[in-house]
Amino acid sequence: MNKDTLTESRSKTTGKSDEHPNLWTERFFNRRCCITFLTGCYSCHWQYREWEKTELGSCCCAWKEQFFYMCLVVAFVLSVIFLFVWVETSNEYNSFDWVVYLGAKRWFLWSIFMLSIAGILTAYTSLLLLLSFFLLWERIELYLHTCHKVFIFLVILLCSFLLYVLNQYWTDKWLIAGLSLQIIAPFLHLSLITVMILLSWPLAICVAHLESEVRIRRYRMAGYEHEVLETCNIFTRLKALQVAAGLPFFVILLCLYLIPLGIYSPCILKKENLGPKPTFFGHRGAPMLAPENTMMSFEKAVEHGASGLETDVYLSYDAVPFLMHDYDLSRTTNIREVLPSAAFDHTATFNWTFLSTLNAGQWFIKHKPFFGMKPLSEADKRRASNQSIPSLAELLELAKNEKKFVIFDLFGPPPKHPLRNTFVRRVVKVILDSNIEQHLIFWLPGYDRDYVRFKAPGFQHVGRLRTLEELAKENMTIINVDYKRLFYRQMVRQYQAAKIHINMYIVNEPWLFSLAWCNRINSVTTDNIQVLNQLSHPLFFMTPGYYTFIWLFMVITSAIIIGVVFYYHWVKELKKEKWLKDTTSASADVESKNLPKGESEIQGASQLPKKPPARAVRSPWTPEVHYESSARSGKNPPDTSHFARAPNERPVPFKNTVKPLMLTENFQHTQTPTREPSSENTLPTLKEDELGGAFTEESRAKTDPKTPVSDSSEGSYEPLDGAISTISDKMSLKQE
């Protein structure tokens, strides 16, 4: 029978039109689609079928599937860890791309590619876990498809390998993750409490349903002690599921409530304790706005408020200091087009006359070295595409005119270079010849410091990460350190107590700059000066009192919400249990009322319906039948005008001269026999003409066509009252 036929027949039966599907049909249809989608994605079963639900409290799948499910959980954890570490190290993306370029000799945003891989792996494992959760919610047995099993093992191997590489060759990545947790810990704490509130809804449904299942099963097994003993392990498993679901949730929630007691965040402090905003050193200028280490880049840094300019210095073969970061010219110039054979030669092996002719800006327009760079205007594009390698003298001229500090790394020339041993003195001479104020020079190189102090006593010498004793011995009041050293806050506090000026490199992300600000760092070297300069206050900053208020508010609010959610679902499940008990009791009462007294007692004991025994056929004309019918109908035989009451004394026997009444089968009545009726108390039979045809079917149809034919039920005796009265009258006439 097709759908239209079913719909038409249902309409005829119910008398209602099915032009619009009812809500039940829509819910069932949507559920079918949902189940098909879940099993299709998880097990590649794309055809709907009625899945046999696993018993509540029993194992969800075979042991092999349990093993692969644990592998899925491990893959999810590893992918989340790798994604978190890689997201939080976004400050190092440009450095990572540069390191990969040194090996591949091809520029590409490898950092973004790795970020995409981490996101895909995390999304894939998260989706599988979510699908498995919904399947378990529907109590469908888990069966992970073979392709998913292979991919899960690949995810585990890939994430393990990448985390191993980071741990071996880039250990500082873990320090970056620790720094990010320092600043986002308060907000992560509040976010996790919100997540726990959201998770409390399905968890409350699960726990309440398990409790209701336990109570209903115990109620249904009442009186069957032997069956309860056999299935007590089911109750144990159901209780164990409750504990396994609820206990970790409340333990984690309690830990979240107490976490602020052990949280340290530099940005939770009073406003009066917040230091001044750090100043900026443009790292190779403003490399997100113009090609690095070009005059356009340094001018852009000055426009965006840089207090100092940072660069890298090499010396050409003919003793001209120039600005370049890489050991070769292949990345930032067009030497591959001009002189391909020397593209990977050392930078210091070329003469300045050749270096000054190379284009140092076209690569910037082509490759866009930073992810998320804002598009340049047409004028800036034209200007950037015409940039060349600048000399140190050009940078010093700009710094002198703008009163900007200059700090640089000085790289020694390769062997056989004419200035192999005197490159420091050559650079000092160029600086002094520029007539720049000496205090604007932050001298960072560690070579030949005594000569530098002698020739240029006004230079401010900058040290690396050293002890306070070593810095005091060399008369240094400025240090230039990696921002990852912020993780060791005790060391930073010691420098600050000794009034050491701290400059940190390279700080590009706003959250990292906010962390440096809250730690009272003096200055930072950055590629992202155009964004950091716009910050008017640190991100994630709040006072201790405000955080305490938010903490207590979230604790109280979340506790109330979670309590209400659990109470609501608990009461809802208890109502289901009560409804089931009431329904069962009502059904038992109805069945017991429809049975004879003896069987009703048995029914109450066993709660099982039994078929009543067959009743023998007895003539409805005996007084016993009449009196029993009257008693059941609640009528009192005496004081009625149309009922003949049986006399207390034994009636006088008389001769029966009346033929028996021929009754139709519809007037026959079944009743449990008590004793055989005797002829003495049996009513005499009358002729059909004496009754006037009152009890024939034809006469009934004539008098009352709508009167139904009497059946064998107890209530079928009342239509005979008139006939019995007539019989009594005729009997009295006969006796007279």
Q: Are 79 and 118 in contact (CB under 8 A)?
A: yes
pTM of the model: 0.71
Contact residues for 665 (Cβ-Cβ < 8 A; gap 6+): none
Q: Is the pLDDT of residue 648 over 70?
A: no
Copy the structure tokens of residue 269.
């402090």
Copy the structure tokens of residue 633.
């109908």
> What is the tens place of the pLDDT at every residue in 359-382?
999 999 998 899 888 889 999 999
Burial of 282 (0-12, 13-18, 19+ CB in 10 A): buried
Q: Residue 54 in 3-state DSSP?
A: coil
Q: Are 732 and 644 in contact (CB under 8 A)?
A: no
> What is the tens place of the pLDDT at every residue in 462-510?
998 888 888 888 889 999 999 988 888 888 888 988 999 999 999 999 9
Closest CA to 315 of 421, 440, 462, 461: 421
Closest CA to 683 of 717, 729, 641: 729
Region 567-573: mean pLDDT is 83
How many whole angstroms separate alpha carbon 730 and alpha carbon 66? Answer: 90
Q: Are 267 and 535 in contact (CB under 8 A)?
A: no
Indicate the average pLDDT of the chain: 77
How many whole angstroms separate alpha carbon 305 and alpha carbon 313? Answer: 23
> What is the tens place of the pLDDT at every residue in 407-447?
999 999 998 899 988 999 999 999 999 999 999 999 999 88
Can you name the residues that pair with 526 across neighbouring β-strands? 282
Using pLDDT thresholds of 50, 70 and 90, give the confidence band for residue 452: very high
Using pLDDT thresholds of 50, 70 and 90, give the confidence band for residue 323: very high
**How high is the pLDDT of residue 404?**
95
How many whole angstroms separate alpha carbon 619 and alpha carbon 625? Answer: 8
Region 293-313: mean pLDDT is 95
Q: How many CB atoms lie within 10 A of CB 403?
A: 11
Highest mean pLDDT: which of 88-97, 674-683, 708-717?
88-97
Using pLDDT thresholds of 50, 70 and 90, give the confidence band for residue 593: low
Closest CA to 200 of 488, 648, 564: 564
User: DSSP of 131-198, one letter per residue?
Assistant: HHHHHHHTTPPP---HHHHHHHHHHHHHHHHHHHHHHHH-THHHHHHHHHHHHHHHHHHHHHHHHHHH
694: amino acid identity, one letter: A
Q: Are 135 and 142 in contact (CB under 8 A)?
A: yes
**How high is the pLDDT of residue 295?**
96
Beta strands in 284-340 (DSSP E): 308-315, 321-323
**How high is the pLDDT of residue 315?**
95
The full 3-state SS of 111-137, as one line of letters, equals: HHHHHHHHHHHHHHHHHHHHHHHHHHH
Can you tell me which residue has the tokens 């405000």?
A: 546
How many whole angstroms separate alpha carbon 164 and alpha carbon 158? Answer: 10
First-residue to last-residue Cα distance in the chain: 73
Highest mean pLDDT: which of 202-206, 493-497, 691-695?
493-497
How many whole angstroms separate alpha carbon 364 and alpha carbon 527? Answer: 14
Helix axis angle, 146-169 relative to 172-220, nearest 10°?
140
Q: What are phi and psi of 462, to 5 degrees?
A: -115, 130
Contact residues for 118 (Cβ-Cβ < 8 A; gap 6+): 79, 82, 83, 86, 87
The full 3-state SS of 225-274, as one line of letters, equals: HHHHHHCHHHHHHHHHHHHHHHHHHHHHHHHHHHHHHCCCCCCECCHHHC
Dihedral sign from CA coordinates of 468, 470, 472, 477: negative
Q: Which tops the pLDDT comparison, 15 or 530?
A: 530
Q: Is the pLDDT of residue 79 over 90?
A: yes
Copy the structure tokens of residue 110.
């490898």
Q: What are phi and psi of 307, to 5 degrees?
A: -90, -15
Q: State the maximum Cα–Cα separation within the chain, in Å, rounded to a whole number.
A: 164
Q: Is the pLDDT of residue 155 over 90?
A: yes
Q: What are phi and psi of 127, to 5 degrees?
A: -65, -45
